[in-house]
Amino acid sequence: MTLEHFENRIEAVAFCRTPYKQKFGIPRQPGLVDFIRGYVELVPPYNHIDAVRGLEQYSHLWLLFSFHENLAQGWKTTVRPPRLGGNEKLGVFATRSTFRPNGIGQSVVKLHGIRQHKGKVQLEISGMDLLDGTPIVDIKPYIPFSDSITGAHAGIAQEPPVEVAVSFAALAQQKLTILDNQYPHLAELISAVLAQDPRPAYKKAKDDPKRYQVALYDLDIFWYAREHGIEVVDIVDAP
């Protein structure tokens, strides 16, 4: 092997199950919506309880994963981070953009437990910013003494994003009442997701009459960006 050439076949060791059924609306970093559970399900030949023996001693995990839905679009040398209003470009390696060489993402998530279900090994997690069905290429314990750096600088991402107010119109409130048994914490999930204002940065500056939709669980959530914040107007079963 030379310094110029390196190849390594990477495959999924697991797949992640989350309520996030489309990219639009998924929190832009882990921990921004921290109370909703998902799970990571190991696949053969890694689907063995011994492969995670000892992991239960850790409260958090690193998930390394593939931005599989964006792989076909390749990578870009520079990208426009939403934080900069979509106007300014930064180098791909100076951002957490999904359009990167190898398409690898990394997220810290909370580990709630490890279970065996119908012969599958599942890690119950929360805080993920991953699309449902995301291939996980590695799992590692989070080690605070080394992974958490006091006083670290984070450029344009020093502070968490400012949240916007979210309200529910009468029809959406009725639907929440009907759906309460089937989807516990649905109102909280919708509020937490939309408080991040998932619209593209260039839209936020303008008067915006568009009706938006995000897909959570098997539901489509419809909403508008009003002057006073985001208003959810309807919740329907996804087709």
Q: How far is the CB of 82 from ligand SAM (least distance, A)?
A: 8
Name the token pair of 144: 């605070």
Question: Is 36 or 130 the residue whose CB approaches ligand SAM more closely?
Answer: 130
Kindly write down the DSSP assignment for every residue of 109-159, as one continuous string. EEEEEEEEETTEEEEEEES----TTEEEEEEEE--HHHH--TT---GGGSS
Kindly state the smallest distance separating residue 180's Cβ from ligand SAM, in Å: 27
Residues that bind ligand SAM (CB under 6 A): 23, 26-30, 67-70, 96, 98, 105-107, 129-131, 134
Residues 6+ apart with CB under 8 A from 159: none
Q: Based on CB atoms, which residue is closest to ligand SAM, 78 or 106?
A: 106
Minimum gap (Å) between residue 74 Cβ and ligand SAM: 13
Cβ 44 to ligand SAM shortest distance, Å: 21
Identify the CA nearest to 122 among candidates 61, 172, 78. 61
CB of 26 or CB of 189, closer to ligand SAM? 26
Candidates 12, 42, 11, 16; CA nearest to 132 is 16
Q: Which is nearer to ligand SAM, 134 or 191 (CB)?
A: 134
Q: What whole-number distance in Å separates Cα of residue 133 and Cα of residue 18?
A: 8
Nearer to ligand SAM, 172 or 225 (CB): 225
Report d(CA 42, CA 58) in Å as an integer. 18
Q: Give the shortest CB-127-to-ligand SAM separation in angstroms.
A: 10
